[in-house]
Amino acid sequence: METVLLLATEAGSRGIGINTNILETNLINLGILIVVLVYFGRGFLGKILNERRSTIEEAIKEAEQRQQQAQASLAEQQQKLTVAQTDAQRILTEAEERAKTVRDSILAKATEDVERMKATASAELDSDRERVISQLRSQIATQAIELAESQLKQHLNDNVQERLIDQSLALLGG
């Protein structure tokens, strides 16, 4: 501890200043060291720096080549995308046209089927009406004949029969 105090008091007595003693400051040693480093280190450092420069230049060239390849690939992919979008639009347009054609065809077929069904229903209705009318006529004729026979049986006696026969013969000309 005494030495530290001694150094502190000695430093305090001198103050701050520049030491001009070359041997004490080791300026000669530093100068020799710098000269040796520059002389011997120039080749070594130059070689390292040249290698580093060439590595950097190669990396830059490779990066530029990759960038060019990426740009070419991007342009190619954009062109493919454009072609794909055009194809997709064409396919969509064709699908819409086909859908319209199919829809129109289905509507025409449905209209035709409805008309055919109407005609068939009308024909069946007419046929049923004619059959019913025919049956009614037949029933009416049968009932009329039955009624006429019953009335003839009730009102027809021998005198009336003779008179009818005579009138019929007179009409025939006899």
How far, in Å, CA of 139 to CA of 147, rounded? Answer: 12
Q: Determine the average pLDDT of the residues in 115-141.
A: 92
Identify the pLDDT of residue 6: 47
User: Tell me: the pLDDT tens digits for 4-53?
Assistant: 444 445 554 556 767 677 667 777 788 888 888 788 777 777 788 889 99
Identify the pLDDT of residue 3: 54
For the stretch 160-164, contacts whose Cβ atoms lie closer than 8 Å and that sit 24 or more positions apart, written own/partner, are none
User: Tell me: the pLDDT tens digits for 39-91?
Assistant: 877 777 778 888 999 999 999 999 999 999 999 999 999 999 999 999 999 99
Question: What is the band of 136 on the pLDDT scale with cuts at 50, 70, 90?
Answer: very high
CB 10 within 8 A of CB 4: no
- Residue 26, helix vs strand vs coil: coil
Identify the pLDDT of residue 100: 95
How far, in Å, CA of 52 to CA of 58, rounded? Answer: 10
Does residue 115 carry a pLDDT above 70?
Answer: yes
CB 20 within 8 A of CB 26: no
Q: Determine the average pLDDT of the residues in 100-126.
A: 93
Higher pLDDT, 159 or 14: 159
Tell me the pTM.
0.41
How far, in Å, CA of 168 to CA of 25, rounded? Answer: 181
How far, in Å, CA of 12 to CA of 4, rounded? Answer: 12
Taking the alpha carbons of 29, 34, 38, 40 in that order, is the dihedral positive or negative? positive
